């Protein structure tokens, strides 16, 4: 059975106070959540230690970005080995903001995925099309290419450390959300591409991200190929985030 995952990406937001209150609330509510759902918090790197102390093994922790190198003279970079060393279990790779603002290419994403899985973390690999690409009927082509190239370095035995997050760029932070049917259609495309690559496609968790909120999560998570969510703004509001974590169908 595929893992059900709800991951909260804080982006460049947070504080010691938020770490204490938000993660403490998630921990206090952990007993009321389905034990089959893994809750992941991905704060800015500077707050990872605070989140880990608050998590007390009830919440998995991730890092928002890693370098494509293991170590060396790369001021400001963090390696996947360092993230694992302090207690992280996940790393985001290829988020649209990294692609758009920092020029990360599919080829660089592939390098980082290789470092993440070899460093012992699970990579949450983000893919998604822009509004222009969707309106020009290129969405499936773009996303399929991102999957093929970004995961081209993964070898058999490493797929268990790969999660794919579909985040249509036009729905991130805009309040717009793909319909549950549209999201399911793209997730089905991604799973088909993974199968063509020789990956154990039915075992790989696929997440949806893009203005996921408490009032739309249940419809998204009810789709057969959507295994959870990568949550942005709503992950900064404790009650909303926990509500999303509860929104999986009872039979999953």
Joined tokens for residue 168: 């249509």
What domains lie within the chain, and their CATH numbers? 4-245 (3.20.20.70)
Taking residue 79's Cβ as centre, other Cβ atoms within 10 Å add up to 20
Residue 81: partners with Cβ closer than 8 Å, 6 or more residues away = 70, 71, 119, 120
Selected residue with higher pLDDT from 178 and 214: 214
- 95 part of the active site: yes
Active-site pick, 95, 97, 104, 187: 95
Mean pLDDT, range 225-238, rounded to an integer: 96
Mean pLDDT, range 28-57, rounded to an integer: 92
Q: What is the pTM of this model?
A: 0.96
Asked if 161 and 122 touch (Cβ cutoff 8 Å), the reply is yes
Q: Where are the alpha helices (DSSP H) in the chain?
A: 16-29, 48-55, 80-86, 96-102, 106-118, 131-135, 139-150, 180-196, 217-221, 238-245
pLDDT attached to residue 211: 86
Using CA atoms, how far apart are residues 62 and 172, in angstroms rounded to an integer? 20
Joined tokens for residue 174: 């805009």
Using CA atoms, how far apart are residues 204 and 117, in angstroms rounded to an integer? 14
CA separation, residue 67 to residues 35, 64, 74, 167 (Å): 33, 11, 8, 22
Q: What average pLDDT does the chain have?
A: 94
Active-site pick, 97, 133, 167, 187: 167
- Residue 126's pLDDT band, with cuts at 50, 70 and 90, is very high
Selected residue with higher pLDDT from 30 and 68: 68
Asked if 216 and 184 touch (Cβ cutoff 8 Å), the reply is no
pLDDT tens-digit readout, 146-188? 999 999 999 999 999 999 999 999 887 777 778 999 999 999 9
Using CA atoms, how far apart are residues 66 and 61, in angstroms rounded to an integer? 14
Which of 221, 215, 222, 220 minimizes the C-alpha distance to 239? 215
Asked if 231 and 209 touch (Cβ cutoff 8 Å), the reply is yes
pLDDT attached to residue 117: 97
| Residue whose entry in the numeric block shows the structure tokens 């993974």 | 194
- Residue 251's pLDDT band, with cuts at 50, 70 and 90, is low
Mean pLDDT, range 34-57, rounded to an integer: 94
pLDDT tens-digit readout, 96-108? 999 999 999 999 9
pLDDT attached to residue 6: 97
CA separation, residue 184 to residues 38, 43, 143 (Å): 21, 28, 14
Residue 114: partners with Cβ closer than 8 Å, 6 or more residues away = 68, 153, 154
- 192 part of the active site: no
Angle between helical axes of 139-150 and 180-196 (0-180°, round to 10): 40
| Residue whose entry in the numeric block shows the structure tokens 């893992």 | 3
Q: Is the pLDDT of residue 250 over 80?
A: no
Q: Is the pLDDT of residue 252 over 60?
A: no
């Amino acid at each position: 059975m595929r893992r059900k995952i709800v991951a909260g990406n804080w982006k460049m937001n947070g504080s010691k106070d938020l770490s204490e209150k938000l993660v403490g609330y998630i921990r206090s509510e952990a007993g009321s959540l389905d034990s089959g759902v893994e809750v992941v918090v991905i704060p800015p790197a500077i707050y990872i230690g605070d989140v880990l102390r608050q998590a007390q093994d009830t919440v998995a922790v991730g890092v928002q970005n890693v370098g494509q190198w293991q170590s060396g003279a790369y001021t400001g970079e963090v390696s996947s080995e360092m993230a694992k060393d302090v207690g992280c279990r996940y790393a985001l790779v290829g988020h649209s903001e990294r692609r758009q603002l920092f020029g990360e290419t599919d080829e660089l994403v592939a390098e980082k995925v290789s470092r993440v899985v070899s460093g012992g973390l699970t990579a949450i690999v983000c893919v998604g099309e822009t509004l222009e690409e969707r309106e020009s009927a290129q969405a499936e082509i773009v996303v399929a290419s991102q999957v093929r190239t970004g995961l081209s370095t993964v070898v058999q035995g490493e797929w268990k450390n790969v999660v794919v997050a579909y985040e249509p760029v036009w729905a991130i932070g805009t309040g717009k959300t793909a319909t549950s049917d549209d999201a399911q259609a793209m997730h089905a495309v991604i799973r088909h591409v993974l199968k063509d690559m020789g990956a154990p496609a039915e075992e790989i968790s696929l997440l949806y991200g893009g203005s996921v909120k408490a009032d739309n999560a249940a419809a998204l998570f009810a789709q057969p190929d959507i295994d959870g969510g990568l949550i942005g703004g709503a992950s900064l509001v404790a009650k909303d985030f926990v509500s999303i974590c509860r929104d999986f169908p009872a039979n999953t």
